[in-house]
Amino acid sequence: MAQITLKNLAHSYKPNATADADFALKEMDHVWQDGGAYALLGSSGCGKSTLLNIISGLLRPSHGRVLFGDRDVTDAATAERNIAQVFQFPVVYDTMTVRDNLAFPLRNRGMEPDYIKARVNQIAAMIGMEEILNRKARGLTADAKQKISLGRGMVREDVNAILFDEPLTVIDPHMKFELRTQLKTLHREFGHTMIYVTHDQTEALTFADKVVVMYDGRVVQMGTPQELFERPGHSFVGYFIGSPGMNFFDATVAGHTATVLGETLALGASYAPPKGRVQIGIRPEFCVLGRSGGLPFSIRRVEDVGRHRIIRGTVAGANVNVTLPEGMEIDADANRVLFAPEKINVYADDWRVSPEGEEN
């Protein structure tokens, strides 16, 4: 196994691309640590599959290099890279039995029959297919076929990495949770580097130790779920992670204060006046309603979402959400929204600004 390094990597599907917009992946440097469990999270079209296919070798990048350890594999064929990849839709051999489908990658590598048998049984148990090992794949549901694809992706112990490209799309919701748990167990047991692509934040946050967030062909942040929640590095991370996402306000910021709509708000840290479009961001969980201080707020409606409630309202016509913890009453006369100063983040042109004295 090996660390995977992307060096000055960029990709355009167009020949002679020059403009930024021509690139499905903008230039990036990125390191995937050996043995990490990563989620690659972003909305449809942001470049997740492009990135995955470059790592596995299905696609040659138009710029930059791919390294496995110290070895440059940019021009190495997929087979040479020792990577298992599971795609969004099942790829199985219909005429083979479930057992033979699972055994295929091992037979290909000339493994011992006894080992193959034991390993296939182990994987079959993981994906709940012990009972149907001798059935032909033809005629199985899409769900079952995708489980075989997953199993085949996991069967080899000698791979550099396992890449999953939205593998649970066709799986029913109950089984999704089950399989995700299995993947985590597998990761803990075998320590393979795993990169799990998804557009679903719940999947990303439950699977991964580190979440890599992509937006418009760029990696905008890599961090633990907690880091992404507390310090979104880009406004997209603020919006995309959390439900509902972060609230943003245009502001001027200097020292320990932000000015929003002519009102002065305290910040938890001191900032040198940032350049560009300056905003403050605050998560709904760190907002409370009151009758003085903060910003003017009008309640539109209240949503019950199980354990807590979400107050949807507006500040100067713009939508703002406030999370109300379990058991807390709503003051019907509340007309201001207040922010916990130390939970406010500052953004300039969508990128988070570090406060003075923050270690990076």
- Residue 50 touches which member of ligand ADP, Mg ion, none, C-beta under 5-8 Å by kind: ligand ADP
Q: Which region among 26-34, 45-53, 97-105, 286-294 touches ligand ADP (by CB under 6 A)?
A: 45-53
φ/ψ of 177, rounded to 5, equals: -60, -45
- When asked if residue 89 is in the footprint of ligand ADP (CB under 6 A), the reply is no
218 forms part of the interface with ligand ADP (CB under 6 A): no
Of 222 and 280, CB closest to ligand ADP: 222
Local structure of 110: helix, strand or coil: coil
| Half-sphere exposure of residue 310: CA atoms within 13 angstroms, side-chain side | 15
Residue with smallest beta-carbon separation from Mg ion: 49
DSSP tally for the chain: helices H, then strands E: 9, 22
By C-beta, is 48 or 81 nearer to Mg ion? 48
Is the CB of 142 or the CB of 316 nearer to Mg ion?
142
For residue 156, give both structure tokens: 């080899």
Amino acid (1-letter code) at residue 243: S
Side-chain half-sphere exposure of 30, counting CA atoms within 13 A: 23
Asked if 146 touches Mg ion (CB under 5 A), the answer is no
Applying CB under 6 A, among 49, 149, 193, 235 the residue interacting with ligand ADP is 49
Kindly state whether residue 49 participates in binding Mg ion, applying the rule CB under 5 A.
yes
Question: In the sheet that 278-282 helps form, which strands lie side by side, from edge to edge?
Answer: 247-250, 278-282, 345-348, 351-353
Q: CB nearer to Mg ion: give 49 or 146.
A: 49
Name the token pair of 74: 């940019």
d(CA 60, CA 128): 36
Residue 44 in contact with ligand ADP, rule: CB under 6 A: yes
Which residues contact ligand ADP by CB under 6 A?
A: 13, 24, 42, 44-50
Sites of contact with Mg ion (CB under 5 A): 49
